[in-house]
Amino acid sequence: MRAAILDHSPYQLRVVDGWPEPAAGAGQVIVQVRGVGICGSDLALLAGRRKPPALPWVPGHETFGVIVATGQDIDPGRVGERVVIEPNVPCFECPACAAGRTSACPRRQILGFNAPGTLAERVVVPAGLAWPVPRTWTDQDAVCAEPLAVAQAAIRRSGASAGMRCLVVGAGSQGMLLCLALAAMGAVPFVLEPHPGRLEVAASLGARPASAQDDGFQLAFETSGLAAAFAEAVRRTAGGGGIVAIGMSSEPLGLTSQTLVSRQLTVLGSLIYDHPGDFAMTMRADLDGLRPGRVLRACYPLDDAPSAFAAAREVPGKTWIRVGGDGTSGSLQKLWAAIQLTIRLVIRVRSAV
Protein backbone atom coordinates (compact mmCIF):
# COMPACT_ATOMS: atom_id res chain seq x y z
CA MET A 1 0.00 0.00 0.00
CA ARG A 2 0.98 3.66 -0.27
CA ALA A 3 2.09 5.73 2.69
CA ALA A 4 3.75 9.08 3.34
CA ILE A 5 6.97 8.66 5.30
CA LEU A 6 9.61 10.81 6.93
CA ASP A 7 13.21 9.81 6.33
CA HIS A 8 16.74 11.23 6.28
CA SER A 9 17.96 14.23 8.23
CA PRO A 10 16.85 16.98 7.92
CA TYR A 11 13.57 15.13 7.60
CA GLN A 12 11.96 14.84 4.20
CA LEU A 13 8.43 13.68 3.45
CA ARG A 14 7.85 11.35 0.51
CA VAL A 15 5.15 8.97 -0.66
CA VAL A 16 6.15 5.33 -1.14
CA ASP A 17 4.55 2.16 -2.49
CA GLY A 18 4.84 -1.23 -0.89
CA TRP A 19 4.50 -0.07 2.71
CA PRO A 20 3.58 -3.08 4.92
CA GLU A 21 -0.12 -3.83 5.26
CA PRO A 22 -1.54 -3.67 8.80
CA ALA A 23 -3.02 -6.77 10.46
CA ALA A 24 -5.87 -6.61 12.97
CA GLY A 25 -5.20 -8.32 16.27
CA ALA A 26 -7.67 -8.97 19.08
CA GLY A 27 -9.76 -5.89 19.84
CA GLN A 28 -8.57 -4.01 16.76
CA VAL A 29 -9.98 -2.84 13.43
CA ILE A 30 -8.38 -1.94 10.12
CA VAL A 31 -9.44 1.45 8.77
CA GLN A 32 -9.25 2.44 5.11
CA VAL A 33 -8.08 6.03 5.52
CA ARG A 34 -10.04 8.69 3.66
CA GLY A 35 -8.58 11.89 5.06
CA VAL A 36 -5.84 13.21 7.36
CA GLY A 37 -5.64 16.75 8.72
CA ILE A 38 -2.37 18.61 9.28
CA CYS A 39 -1.70 20.53 12.50
CA GLY A 40 1.17 22.43 14.08
CA SER A 41 2.44 19.31 15.86
CA ASP A 42 2.85 17.55 12.50
CA LEU A 43 4.78 20.53 11.15
CA ALA A 44 7.02 20.49 14.24
CA LEU A 45 7.78 16.82 13.54
CA LEU A 46 8.72 17.54 9.93
CA ALA A 47 10.86 20.51 10.99
CA GLY A 48 12.78 18.37 13.50
CA ARG A 49 11.48 20.13 16.60
CA ARG A 50 9.90 16.83 17.61
CA LYS A 51 11.79 13.58 17.12
CA PRO A 52 10.21 10.36 15.79
CA PRO A 53 11.38 7.20 17.57
CA ALA A 54 12.60 5.66 14.31
CA LEU A 55 13.12 6.33 10.62
CA PRO A 56 11.44 5.89 8.21
CA TRP A 57 8.35 7.12 10.05
CA VAL A 58 4.67 7.55 9.11
CA PRO A 59 3.23 10.82 10.51
CA GLY A 60 -0.42 11.84 10.81
CA HIS A 61 -3.04 11.64 13.56
CA GLU A 62 -6.18 13.66 12.61
CA THR A 63 -7.92 10.91 10.68
CA PHE A 64 -11.21 9.57 9.40
CA GLY A 65 -11.98 6.57 7.20
CA VAL A 66 -13.98 3.37 6.85
CA ILE A 67 -13.56 0.10 8.76
CA VAL A 68 -12.64 -2.65 6.28
CA ALA A 69 -11.70 -5.50 8.64
CA THR A 70 -12.11 -6.50 12.28
CA GLY A 71 -9.93 -8.49 14.63
CA GLN A 72 -10.88 -11.18 17.08
CA ASP A 73 -13.78 -10.33 19.45
CA ILE A 74 -14.90 -7.35 17.34
CA ASP A 75 -18.30 -7.40 15.65
CA PRO A 76 -17.71 -7.96 11.90
CA GLY A 77 -20.84 -5.90 11.38
CA ARG A 78 -18.66 -2.84 11.92
CA VAL A 79 -17.14 -3.37 8.47
CA GLY A 80 -18.27 -0.47 6.30
CA GLU A 81 -18.66 1.86 9.28
CA ARG A 82 -17.42 5.42 8.73
CA VAL A 83 -15.23 6.40 11.67
CA VAL A 84 -12.99 9.06 13.18
CA ILE A 85 -9.83 7.76 14.87
CA GLU A 86 -9.00 8.93 18.38
CA PRO A 87 -5.19 9.02 18.12
CA ASN A 88 -4.24 9.17 21.80
CA VAL A 89 -4.20 5.66 23.25
CA PRO A 90 -4.05 5.62 27.10
CA CYS A 91 -2.81 2.64 29.12
CA PHE A 92 -6.06 2.48 31.18
CA GLU A 93 -4.03 1.23 34.17
CA CYS A 94 -2.11 4.17 35.69
CA PRO A 95 -3.47 6.48 38.44
CA ALA A 96 -4.20 9.23 35.92
CA CYS A 97 -6.31 6.88 33.77
CA ALA A 98 -8.08 5.55 36.86
CA ALA A 99 -8.97 9.14 37.78
CA GLY A 100 -10.40 9.79 34.32
CA ARG A 101 -7.50 12.04 33.26
CA THR A 102 -6.26 9.94 30.35
CA SER A 103 -4.68 13.06 28.85
CA ALA A 104 -2.08 12.83 31.64
CA CYS A 105 -1.32 9.13 31.10
CA PRO A 106 2.51 8.76 31.21
CA ARG A 107 2.34 5.71 28.94
CA ARG A 108 0.00 7.28 26.39
CA GLN A 109 0.65 6.16 22.81
CA ILE A 110 0.26 9.03 20.33
CA LEU A 111 -0.30 8.01 16.73
CA GLY A 112 2.15 9.81 14.50
CA PHE A 113 4.55 10.73 17.31
CA ASN A 114 5.56 7.80 19.51
CA ALA A 115 3.43 5.22 17.65
CA PRO A 116 3.13 4.82 13.86
CA GLY A 117 0.87 7.43 12.30
CA THR A 118 -2.09 7.38 9.95
CA LEU A 119 -0.90 8.99 6.71
CA ALA A 120 -1.26 5.71 4.83
CA GLU A 121 -3.98 3.95 2.87
CA ARG A 122 -4.81 1.60 5.75
CA VAL A 123 -4.09 1.61 9.48
CA VAL A 124 -4.88 -0.61 12.46
CA VAL A 125 -6.28 0.91 15.67
CA PRO A 126 -8.06 -0.26 18.84
CA ALA A 127 -11.74 -0.71 18.03
CA GLY A 128 -12.78 1.45 20.98
CA LEU A 129 -10.89 4.40 19.50
CA ALA A 130 -12.66 4.21 16.13
CA TRP A 131 -15.70 6.45 16.67
CA PRO A 132 -18.73 6.17 14.35
CA VAL A 133 -19.30 9.35 12.34
CA PRO A 134 -22.85 10.75 12.36
CA ARG A 135 -24.55 10.56 8.96
CA THR A 136 -24.99 14.33 8.89
CA TRP A 137 -21.23 14.94 9.06
CA THR A 138 -19.38 15.66 5.83
CA ASP A 139 -15.89 14.35 5.16
CA GLN A 140 -14.65 17.86 5.90
CA ASP A 141 -16.34 17.83 9.30
CA ALA A 142 -14.96 14.37 10.07
CA VAL A 143 -11.34 15.32 9.35
CA CYS A 144 -11.67 18.18 11.88
CA ALA A 145 -13.25 16.06 14.64
CA GLU A 146 -10.04 15.36 16.58
CA PRO A 147 -8.83 18.98 16.83
CA LEU A 148 -12.42 20.01 17.60
CA ALA A 149 -12.31 17.59 20.56
CA VAL A 150 -9.16 19.39 21.77
CA ALA A 151 -10.96 22.75 21.58
CA GLN A 152 -14.12 21.50 23.27
CA ALA A 153 -12.13 19.86 26.08
CA ALA A 154 -10.40 23.19 26.76
CA ILE A 155 -13.77 24.93 26.85
CA ARG A 156 -15.18 22.28 29.22
CA ARG A 157 -12.24 22.62 31.58
CA SER A 158 -12.44 26.42 31.51
CA GLY A 159 -16.04 26.59 32.73
CA ALA A 160 -17.05 28.88 29.84
CA SER A 161 -20.78 29.47 29.46
CA ALA A 162 -23.22 31.21 27.16
CA GLY A 163 -22.90 34.99 27.13
CA MET A 164 -19.35 35.00 28.49
CA ARG A 165 -16.83 37.34 26.81
CA CYS A 166 -13.80 35.28 25.85
CA LEU A 167 -10.51 36.15 24.15
CA VAL A 168 -8.78 33.70 21.81
CA VAL A 169 -5.12 34.58 21.28
CA GLY A 170 -3.86 33.10 18.01
CA ALA A 171 -5.97 32.00 15.05
CA GLY A 172 -4.16 28.96 13.82
CA SER A 173 -6.43 25.96 13.24
CA GLN A 174 -6.83 25.35 17.00
CA GLY A 175 -7.68 29.00 17.65
CA MET A 176 -10.21 28.93 14.80
CA LEU A 177 -11.92 25.86 16.19
CA LEU A 178 -12.05 27.50 19.63
CA CYS A 179 -13.73 30.57 18.08
CA LEU A 180 -16.18 28.30 16.27
CA ALA A 181 -17.04 26.20 19.32
CA LEU A 182 -17.36 29.20 21.66
CA ALA A 183 -19.68 31.00 19.25
CA ALA A 184 -21.77 27.84 18.78
CA MET A 185 -22.33 27.52 22.56
CA GLY A 186 -23.44 31.14 22.87
CA ALA A 187 -20.26 32.66 24.28
CA VAL A 188 -18.87 35.85 22.72
CA PRO A 189 -15.40 35.13 21.29
CA PHE A 190 -12.94 37.89 20.41
CA VAL A 191 -9.77 36.98 18.54
CA LEU A 192 -6.29 38.46 18.59
CA GLU A 193 -4.25 37.51 15.50
CA PRO A 194 -1.65 39.50 13.52
CA HIS A 195 -2.11 37.57 10.24
CA PRO A 196 -4.89 39.29 8.20
CA GLY A 197 -5.93 36.08 6.40
CA ARG A 198 -6.30 34.09 9.62
CA LEU A 199 -8.15 36.95 11.26
CA GLU A 200 -10.59 37.02 8.35
CA VAL A 201 -11.26 33.28 8.61
CA ALA A 202 -11.79 33.52 12.39
CA ALA A 203 -14.25 36.36 11.86
CA SER A 204 -16.18 34.22 9.36
CA LEU A 205 -16.51 31.58 12.10
CA GLY A 206 -18.20 33.95 14.55
CA ALA A 207 -15.31 35.73 16.29
CA ARG A 208 -14.91 39.47 16.66
CA PRO A 209 -11.48 41.00 15.94
CA ALA A 210 -10.13 42.36 19.24
CA SER A 211 -9.19 46.02 19.14
CA ALA A 212 -6.50 47.64 21.28
CA GLN A 213 -9.23 48.76 23.70
CA ASP A 214 -10.86 45.33 24.17
CA ASP A 215 -9.95 43.93 27.57
CA GLY A 216 -11.60 42.80 30.80
CA PHE A 217 -12.28 39.31 29.40
CA GLN A 218 -13.62 36.69 31.77
CA LEU A 219 -11.60 34.00 29.99
CA ALA A 220 -8.62 34.03 27.63
CA PHE A 221 -7.46 31.04 25.59
CA GLU A 222 -3.81 31.20 24.49
CA THR A 223 -3.05 28.88 21.56
CA SER A 224 0.46 29.77 20.36
CA GLY A 225 2.66 29.04 23.39
CA LEU A 226 4.62 32.26 22.80
CA ALA A 227 5.56 34.33 25.85
CA ALA A 228 4.47 37.62 24.23
CA ALA A 229 1.07 36.15 23.34
CA PHE A 230 0.61 34.77 26.86
CA ALA A 231 1.51 38.16 28.34
CA GLU A 232 -1.15 39.77 26.15
CA ALA A 233 -3.71 37.22 27.33
CA VAL A 234 -2.85 38.05 30.96
CA ARG A 235 -3.01 41.79 30.33
CA ARG A 236 -6.47 41.61 28.79
CA THR A 237 -8.02 39.23 31.35
CA ALA A 238 -10.23 40.76 34.03
CA GLY A 239 -9.33 40.45 37.69
CA GLY A 240 -10.61 37.12 38.97
CA GLY A 241 -10.67 35.75 35.43
CA GLY A 242 -8.96 32.75 33.92
CA ILE A 243 -6.29 32.06 31.31
CA VAL A 244 -6.32 28.70 29.54
CA ALA A 245 -2.95 27.74 28.06
CA ILE A 246 -3.22 25.38 25.07
CA GLY A 247 -0.17 26.22 22.96
CA MET A 248 3.16 24.81 24.11
CA SER A 249 6.79 25.90 23.86
CA SER A 250 9.90 25.73 26.05
CA GLU A 251 9.97 29.52 26.33
CA PRO A 252 9.49 30.89 29.90
CA LEU A 253 6.22 32.82 30.19
CA GLY A 254 7.35 35.53 32.60
CA LEU A 255 4.22 35.55 34.77
CA THR A 256 5.06 36.79 38.26
CA SER A 257 3.38 35.60 41.42
CA GLN A 258 2.63 39.24 42.21
CA THR A 259 0.49 39.53 39.07
CA LEU A 260 -1.14 36.17 39.64
CA VAL A 261 -2.04 36.79 43.28
CA SER A 262 -2.86 40.49 43.23
CA ARG A 263 -5.23 40.07 40.28
CA GLN A 264 -6.54 36.71 41.58
CA LEU A 265 -6.09 35.03 38.21
CA THR A 266 -6.52 31.35 37.48
CA VAL A 267 -4.13 29.75 34.99
CA LEU A 268 -5.14 26.38 33.57
CA GLY A 269 -3.14 24.15 31.23
CA SER A 270 -5.35 22.14 28.87
CA LEU A 271 -3.79 19.13 27.11
CA ILE A 272 -5.80 17.31 24.41
CA TYR A 273 -8.90 15.55 25.86
CA ASP A 274 -9.88 12.78 28.25
CA HIS A 275 -11.15 9.41 27.05
CA PRO A 276 -13.93 8.58 26.56
CA GLY A 277 -16.05 11.55 27.63
CA ASP A 278 -14.54 14.38 25.59
CA PHE A 279 -14.37 12.52 22.31
CA ALA A 280 -17.86 11.11 22.85
CA MET A 281 -19.16 14.64 23.43
CA THR A 282 -17.60 15.83 20.18
CA MET A 283 -18.95 12.93 18.14
CA ARG A 284 -22.46 13.58 19.51
CA ALA A 285 -22.28 17.30 18.77
CA ASP A 286 -25.17 18.95 16.99
CA LEU A 287 -23.42 20.34 13.95
CA ASP A 288 -26.14 22.90 13.17
CA GLY A 289 -24.23 26.17 13.41
CA LEU A 290 -20.95 24.38 14.16
CA ARG A 291 -19.65 22.59 11.05
CA PRO A 292 -15.94 22.31 11.92
CA GLY A 293 -15.11 21.61 8.28
CA ARG A 294 -15.46 25.35 7.71
CA VAL A 295 -11.90 25.86 8.99
CA LEU A 296 -10.51 23.90 6.02
CA ARG A 297 -8.97 25.96 3.25
CA ALA A 298 -6.80 23.53 1.22
CA CYS A 299 -6.97 19.86 0.21
CA TYR A 300 -4.31 17.69 -1.48
CA PRO A 301 -4.22 14.05 -2.62
CA LEU A 302 -1.88 11.63 -0.86
CA ASP A 303 0.61 11.76 -3.74
CA ASP A 304 1.02 15.50 -3.05
CA ALA A 305 1.51 15.13 0.70
CA PRO A 306 4.82 17.09 0.64
CA SER A 307 2.99 20.02 -1.03
CA ALA A 308 0.22 19.77 1.57
CA PHE A 309 2.71 20.11 4.43
CA ALA A 310 4.37 23.06 2.72
CA ALA A 311 0.99 24.75 2.17
CA ALA A 312 -0.07 24.16 5.78
CA ARG A 313 2.58 26.63 6.93
CA GLU A 314 1.12 29.42 4.82
CA VAL A 315 -2.58 28.77 4.17
CA PRO A 316 -4.91 30.73 6.49
CA GLY A 317 -7.07 27.94 7.82
CA LYS A 318 -6.52 24.21 7.96
CA THR A 319 -5.01 21.94 5.28
CA TRP A 320 -5.89 18.28 4.84
CA ILE A 321 -4.90 15.30 2.70
CA ARG A 322 -7.50 13.16 0.97
CA VAL A 323 -6.43 9.53 0.84
CA GLY A 324 -7.93 7.11 -1.69
CA GLY A 325 -10.01 9.54 -3.74
CA ASP A 326 -13.62 9.74 -2.60
CA GLY A 327 -13.39 6.63 -0.47
CA THR A 328 -13.93 2.93 -0.91
CA SER A 329 -17.28 1.57 -2.04
CA GLY A 330 -19.24 -0.77 0.19
CA SER A 331 -18.60 -3.76 -2.09
CA LEU A 332 -14.85 -3.18 -2.03
CA GLN A 333 -14.97 -2.84 1.74
CA LYS A 334 -16.63 -6.25 2.00
CA LEU A 335 -14.13 -7.74 -0.46
CA TRP A 336 -11.20 -6.39 1.57
CA ALA A 337 -12.73 -7.81 4.75
CA ALA A 338 -13.12 -11.22 3.07
CA ILE A 339 -9.48 -11.17 1.95
CA GLN A 340 -8.32 -10.35 5.47
CA LEU A 341 -10.48 -13.13 6.95
CA THR A 342 -9.06 -15.64 4.44
CA ILE A 343 -5.51 -14.62 5.31
CA ARG A 344 -6.19 -15.10 9.02
CA LEU A 345 -7.74 -18.53 8.42
CA VAL A 346 -4.78 -19.66 6.28
CA ILE A 347 -2.36 -18.53 9.01
CA ARG A 348 -4.32 -20.44 11.67
CA VAL A 349 -4.42 -23.62 9.55
CA ARG A 350 -0.68 -23.47 8.88
CA SER A 351 0.01 -22.86 12.57
CA ALA A 352 -2.11 -25.90 13.50
CA VAL A 353 -0.22 -28.06 11.01
282 vs 46: CA distance, rounded Å? 28
Task: Please check whether residues 168 and 245 belong to one and the same domain.
Answer: yes
Q: Is the pLDDT of residue 45 over 70?
A: yes
Task: Residue 65: give its domain's CATH number.
Answer: 3.90.180.10
pLDDT at 285: 79
The answer to whether residues 201 and 226 touch, using CB atoms and an 8 Å cutoff, is no
Could you read off the pLDDT of 75-102 as tens digits, one per residue?
999 999 999 999 999 999 999 999 999 9
Element (H, E) at 204: helix 196-204
- Name the least confident of 9-13, 67-71, 215-219: 9-13
Task: Please check whether residues 184 and 259 belong to one and the same domain.
Answer: yes
Could you read off the pLDDT of 169-190 as tens digits, one per residue?
999 999 999 999 999 999 999 9
Q: Is the pLDDT of residue 9 over 60?
A: yes
* Domain-located, residue 34: yes
pLDDT at 339: 52
Average pLDDT over residues 299-328: 88
Task: Please check whether residues 7 and 66 belong to one and the same domain.
Answer: yes
Question: Across-strand partners of 191?
Answer: 168, 209
* Domain-located, residue 281: no
* Domain-located, residue 294: no
Task: Please check whether residues 114 and 64 belong to one and the same domain.
Answer: yes
* Domain-located, residue 274: no
Task: Please check whether residues 14 and 127 belong to one and the same domain.
Answer: yes
Task: Please check whether residues 243 and 184 belong to one and the same domain.
Answer: yes
pLDDT at 333: 43
14 vs 336: CA distance, rounded Å? 26
- The mean pLDDT value of the chain amounts to 92
Decide the pairing of beta strands 12-16 and 3-7: antiparallel
Instruction: For residue 148, give the 3-state DSSP assignment.
Output: helix
| Rounded percentage of the chain residues whose pLDDT exceeds 70 | 90
Instruction: For residue 91, give the 3-state DSSP assignment.
Output: coil
Element (H, E) at 342: helix 330-352
CB atoms < 10 A from the CB of 352, how many?
6
pLDDT at 11: 81
Average pLDDT over residues 231-240: 98
* Domain-located, residue 173: yes
User: For the whole model, what pTM was predicted?
Assistant: 0.91
| Rounded percentage of the chain residues whose pLDDT exceeds 90 | 85
Determine the structural domain holding residue 129 and report its residue range: 3-133+323-352
* Domain-located, residue 37: yes
CA angle 50, 83, 151 (to 5 degrees): 50
Give the chain's domain count: 2
